[in-house]
Structure 1
Amino acid sequence: MLFDTHVHLNDLAFNKDIEEVIKRAKENDVTKMAVVGFDKATIERALELAQIYPFIYLIVGWHPTEAIHFTDDILAWLRDLAKDPKVVALGEMGLDYHWDTSPKEVQFEVFRKQIRLAREVNLPIVIHNREATDDIVRILQEEHAEEVGGIMHCFGEAIEVMQKCLDLNFYISFGGTVTFKNAKLPKIAAEAVPLEKMLIETDAPYLAPHPKRGKRNEPAYVKLVAEKIAELKNMKYEEIATYTTNNAEKLFRIK
């Protein structure tokens, strides 16, 4: 049993063959998925998928690259969505300094508002971090994000950063990058992460793992991530599957 804790099955890349994608996921041990909606269109599509498929759960929030478009009405909408039993976390939220689409000050404000909402509705948060590690850790600390905890999505930082995230009550999630030949930091982190704080994901359709790199990613490939982590930790694949699924169900409060 595998739990893909971060997948964009609501992406246009899956519009034509979603049933086949889901079938392949099931054939590769994937029994649950958390679909992420990070703007109006992707949230609405994620809601549709959750109604159709009982094994799909929802993560809803506002992406930092879209921060310039955030409004009080959107915040109120997210607050209302948090009441849906299928919504298991808020996100992906955070900071993105790679794409110059929203000023840093705007990103800070939107990030803080979503953390405060998560504390209000008592849901964990999912962090998007691109070239903004120090500011993300600082804001999480200042906003007492440890009260709800959450996931450091697609983690690829140094051990010292991982420890700060663990101290903030966050799980560390690994995706396709842990399989990349020259990606040293994700491998070092995967070797060191405590078993009880480890999660796996695909971020599909992005970041397909080796040997699928360069192709469209899909939930079935989370098995390749689990197998690589098992190799790095000198454990059995089945053990990694059990730990990561149990961890996800605990964090998301899924019975």
Structure 2
Amino acid sequence: MIAWFMDSAHWLGDDGLLALIIQHVIYSAEALFIALIIAFPIGCYVGHTGKGTRTLIGIANAMRALPTFGLIILLVILFGPVFESDLAFIVPCLIVLIILALPPIVMGIYSGITAIDPSVIDAAVGMGYSPWRLLLTVEIPCALPLILSGIRSAALQIVSTATIAAYVSLGGLGRLIIDGRAQNDYPQMVAGAIMVGALALAVDFIFSFLIRFLVSSGIQRRERRRRPLILLAKYFRHLSH
């Protein structure tokens, strides 16, 4: 495996490792961006108004249960007659990744807004804040830790699952795993798995930095104070069961 990584021929060219990493990142970034556009207004609306909570939770749980591998095969079969180009494979792949990313993002936004101390909301309303101003200047900033955590979880799931794109003839790091399995090239398969893991760790590190950079220090201190209490509550809840 080390020899495989040391061979420069595996890094360069249209099918080289660098090109596959770029393709993997592009698929993941596109899916995450579209999922954010869809999920953010939904999560904000349900969290702010409290309307549709049961429906949101039910749909999110149902989407989590969908089998990504079987779904992408079904969508390729359905979209094959519609598109004559690579879109017949790209569109199903993006749809599957978007569906995978929506539940953690929506639930992160909803949970973050509903977890805000009611006294904070009451104080803002008492000062004459309009619903839009309340959402944009109070609720979203206070909910930012959970919002970013949901986006972080979605990004990690997308990066790890984008390998299925290779199964429908697309690129990405899954290409190393699929082609390596077909050729019984186990060093190539292991190299693909290691690169996917390394990319996921890089994404996790980026979001860790973003959370520290974007979330205000006051909210971060509050979250650190609350974390031991939350863990203790989970422990006693576990004992009660």
TM-score (norm 1): 0.22
Q: Which has the higher contact order (CA 8 A, sep 6+)?
A: 2
Q: Which has the higher strand share?
A: 1
Task: Report the TM-score when normalising by structure 2.
Answer: 0.23
Which has more radius of gyration?
2
Greater share of helix: 2
